[in-house]
Structure 1
Amino acid sequence: MPSFSNLTLRTDRLLLRPLCEADAPSLFAIFSDPRVMRYWSTPAWPTIDKAHALIAQDMQEMSAGKYVRLGIERKDDGQLIGNCTLFNLVEQCRRAEIGYGLAFAAWGRGYMHEALSALLEFGFSELALNRVEADIDPRNLASARSLERLGFKKEGHLRERWIVDGEVSDSGLYGLLRSEWAPRLGKVHSLDS
């Protein structure tokens, strides 16, 4: 895979761009919030060190083309409100997983749908992915609805897959094929690389 270090995607309201050190306080504010992390497979971040470590890892891994993680920045005020990721890229099978997180204050405004639409278009058109998968906590009904609005189909349910802070939870598995996304290709974002 090519380097993703300079990848930028633009939508009507958002700029999707690589994270940088200056984003650490905003990232920490987002991912230390128990409301945001309620359905994640990891606990809320206890210190800002997690944000610094994630950014440092991204700089190396994105340069090597191992995954794509882009910060979600509002164009109108420059505020970082979340991130979205294509990871576990399998070039031979043209497959990846998608992940995402959004600041609580930004929920319910369509930002994640807009961001994921751009990221999926990039994955299917620029990376020639054939399949994108998502693994969510099935209790997270908003996330399930978001995926379904994007065209994902529920493909499975894994019982008691995660244990986070002593709480056991299941996984809902979703998939989206290139053939299901094809009618939308080229209609969502502009690409700067």
Structure 2
Amino acid sequence: MSNYATPILTTDRLTLRPFTLDDAPDLLAVFSDPAVMHYWSSEPWTSVRDAEAMIEQALAGYREQSEVRFGIELAATGQLIGALNLHRFFPRNRRCEIGYALGSAHWGKGYASEALATGIDYAFHELRLNRIEADIDPRNTASGALLERLGFRKEGYMPERWFVHGEMADTVNYGLLRRYWDERK
């Protein structure tokens, strides 16, 4: 794949932009928070090296143009508060997966919805994708509600798909078609 460059996207309150190594401390703050990682498929990060490894993976994706990974930044302050990833592209089928995390201090302010809507619109209208998929832990009701508000539809349930935090965890699969997205507008 050689056509998935990560641009800079802006909203009134946010900037979605490529990561830099300078983002490591802010990224660590997001992903070391047990509340953020409660439904994530890995343990909370414990060192800045964890953040640097994620950024190095993002930088490789930028060079290869194989993933679109955004840092979510507050426009007013420049503080990095989260991440939004479009990944696992299937170009022939015009689809990808989406993943996201937002620092818990910024929950409930509409930032996740704003960031995802901007990333989704970019995926459908600039990358010309037809489908975006997400999978979440069904106990993560806030994430499920966010996806549904954005037009994603529940498409499947997979029991005991992940072993996370010492227990088996289920997955709910969501899908969003470009036509669903465009019908919302």
TM over 0.5: yes
Task: Map residues 73-84 of structure 1 onto 2, 5 A cutoff.
Answer: 73-84=73-84
Residue of structure 2 equivalent to 1:165:
165
In the TM superposition, residue 183 of structure 1 has moved relative to its aligned partner by: 3.8
Distance 1:164 1:48 in 2: 22
Is 1:58–2:58 an aligned residue pair?
Answer: yes
Q: Any runs of at least 4 consecutive aligned residues in structure 1 with deviations exceeding 4 A, and if so which? A: none
Please tell me whether the aligned partners of residues 3 and 63 of structure 1 are also in contact (alpha carbons under 8 angstroms): no
Q: Who is 2:86 aligned against?
A: 86
Question: How far off is 1:4 after superposition?
Answer: 1.7
Matches within 5 A, 1:1-193: 1-5=2-6, 7-183=7-183
C-alpha deviation, 1:60, in angstroms = 1.3
| Paired residue type of 1:70 | F
The secondary structure found in structure 1 opposite 2:92 is: coil
* Alpha-carbon shift at residue 24 of structure 1 (Å): 0.1
Cα deviation for residue 59 of structure 1 reads 0.9
Contact 1:138 1:170 in 2 (8 A): yes
Q: Matched residue pairs, number?
A: 184
Once the two structures are TM-superposed, the CA of residue 78 in structure 1 deviates from its matched residue by 1.0
**Closer, same or farther: CA 184–64 of 1 in aligned 2, 3 Å:** farther
TM-score normalized by the length of structure 2: 0.96
CA–CA distance in structure 1, aligned partners of residues 105 and 12 of structure 2: 19
Distance 1:95 1:44, change over 3 A: same
Pair 1:178–1:3, CA change in 2 (3 A) = closer
Deviation at 1:3, TM superposition (A): 4.9
TM-score, structure 1 normalization? 0.92
| Separation (CA, whole Å) in 2 of partners of 1:73 and 1:104 | 14
Q: Which has the higher helix share?
A: 2
- Determine the C-alpha separation between the residues in 1 that align with 2:147 and 2:125: 19
Question: What secondary structure is seen at the aligned counterpart in 2 of 1:169?
Answer: strand
| Identity over aligned pairs, percent | 50
Letter in structure 2 aligned against 1:105: A
Q: Which runs of 5+ in 2 are unaligned?
A: none
Report deviation, 1:61: 1.1
Q: Distance in 1 between matches of 2:4 and 2:143?
A: 29
Give me the whole-angstrom Cα distance separating, in 2, the residues matched to 1:163 and 1:153.
Answer: 25
